[in-house]
Amino acid sequence: MRGVLLSLFVTLIVLSPHSSRSEMIVRDYTPARNFRFYADSDKAFVGRAYNFSGVGLGSEGHWATLVTDTCFLSAVHLHPAIGEKVTFWGSNSLTGTSYTYTVTGGARIGTTDLWLGWFDGAVDRTIARYAIPKLRSPKAYLGLTLYNYGKTHRVGRNVLDMLGMCQLGPSTGKIAAYDYDDNDTPSVGSDESYLQVGDSGAPSFAVFNSRLALIGIHWSISSNPASSIDTFVPEYFDEINKELAKRGQTLHRSRWRKRSRS
């Protein structure tokens, strides 16, 4: 299923903190290809061409995706708490340089499941800050190849094939969804991903100008059809910037001249 603008998405299952926290499914998962920190000589990481250093993991297992020097995005229902320490790795090696910061505050973006948090200081400048693309229309995002990040630093891929609105519990927001059917255009083959409950708050990226740009923050899943649901971050570009302005920060702006579908 591809290229659908949804007004309603049903049979949603929230990625709940009260559920067993399993790992993102990757169709033919192999550590050498889909584990960011795989260390053996046969490593062939699917994301080797891109910079994942701005994806941080909290001491309690919560995700943070860096968007400015001091601020990050996560999920309202499962974000790093105030006082939690978040670590970023400067490379795709656990033995490389890492940096740890303490969460000192945060704010919900409107009524969505997006949570903007901030640290006790600026993150080291070698760590990636991710831009959020603003394209000419919602339809321009359909068909993008996504790099989905999940629990235990798994990275899979999928194709953004649905946009719509969702109300789930106390949150309402625009969603980006991608199904799990082994029938994507363009094909992502053995890398096709399906979120699980341990993935809440982690990011989905697309590639523009050879760099990762933030498209979604993991929110929920559907079992019928099997699909993953992110909060569609570009929809809230202006709202995020308004909150950032209170802290003297702003999102990176770029001209999105070229996107990748592979």
Domains assigned to the chain: 4-33+131-234 (2.40.10.10), 51-130+238-245 (2.40.10.10)
Predicted local distance difference test score (pLDDT) of residue 6? 46
Instruction: List beta partners, residue 5.
Output: 163
CA–CA distance, 144 with 184 (Å, rounded to integer): 11
Considering only CA atoms, give the Rg of the chain: 17
CB 87 within 8 A of CB 164: no
Predicted local distance difference test score (pLDDT) of residue 253? 65
CA–CA distance, 205 with 193 (Å, rounded to integer): 13
Q: Supply 168's token pair.
A: 């789930």
Mean pLDDT by 10 residues, the chain (262 residues): 42 45 90 98 97 97 97 96 98 96 97 97 97 92 97 97 89 94 94 92 96 96 88 96 94 63 50
On the CB side of 20, how many CA atoms lie within 13 Å of its CA?
2
Helix, strand and coil percent figures for the chain, each rounded to 5: 15, 40, 50
